[in-house]
Amino acid sequence: MNLVIDKGNTQVKYGVYQRNSLLLFKTSDADDFLETIKKIFDEYPNIKQSIYCSVGGVDQKEIKILTLFNKVHVLSPTSKVPFSNNYATPASLGVDRMALATAAFYYNQYGNTLVIDMGTCITYDIVNADGTYLGGAISPGLAMRYKALHGQTNKLPLLTVEAPLSLIGNSTVQSMHSGVVNGIIHELDGVILEYKNRFKDLTVILTGGDGQFFAKRLKNSIFANSKFLLEGLNYLLEYNKQ
């Protein structure tokens, strides 16, 4: 039994796996890490190993806590991966993107797969039919764009995410919603189209916290999977046991 931990910029996600079956999914704030870990091990005392993935750096206190319960693999650029890595700067490749590429590799072996992660940033990662990770792109995420409009101007308000009423905003607030949301929609559709023109029979996976918000708004055919990164972490834990 495995415990996978994805520590993002805003939340921590936890998954308990029995082989490839997800038995438990939880989220918490970073401050509730210890309490959440205790509850998980109380409920699943047969967890033998865990994998820890953090995009913001490793918290050694959290690692020490985890080692009290089981063996821990801290995901890093030196971890073994099942795909061939063609990234020019592998040491700078985010551990979250390593996990997504791994999930793509196993999900669609011998096929071209684009993973789009809608988190704090929007990341694009492509694994081709030869099992090679080629790289992708990083752009500002949904909340980041709202914050930028407010923080980089004198008068624009800080808004929470909301679907625009129309393409043409008839107020400053609606104009901001239209600009942010429709801007991302057209970015996603445009990027997917470019990849489809370059890669035959492309499979597109949409994941991340904002994935569901955009899934039904895109013109292109996609597969939405909010737990795709966790699946990749579970695969990586098994792969690094070998």
Q: Which residues are annotated as a binding site?
A: 6-13, 87, 94-97, 117, 120, 172
Instruction: Determine the Cα–Cα distance for residues 66 and 161; give it in Å rounded to an integer.
Output: 35
Q: Which two tokens stand for residue 119?
A: 């988190």
Binding site for ATP: which residues? 6-13, 120
**By C-alpha distance, which of 232, 236, 203, 237 is closest to 220?**
203
For residue 102, the Cα-to-chain-centroid distance in whole angstroms is 12
The tokens 């033998």 sit on which residue? 48
Residue 81: partners with Cβ closer than 8 Å, 6 or more residues away: 98, 101, 102, 133, 236, 239
Binding site for K(+): which residues? 117
The tokens 């055919």 sit on which residue? 221
- The gap between the terminal CA atoms of the chain, to the nearest Å, is 15
What positions carry a catalytic annotation?
96
**By C-alpha distance, which of 123, 95, 126, 128 is closest to 109?**
128
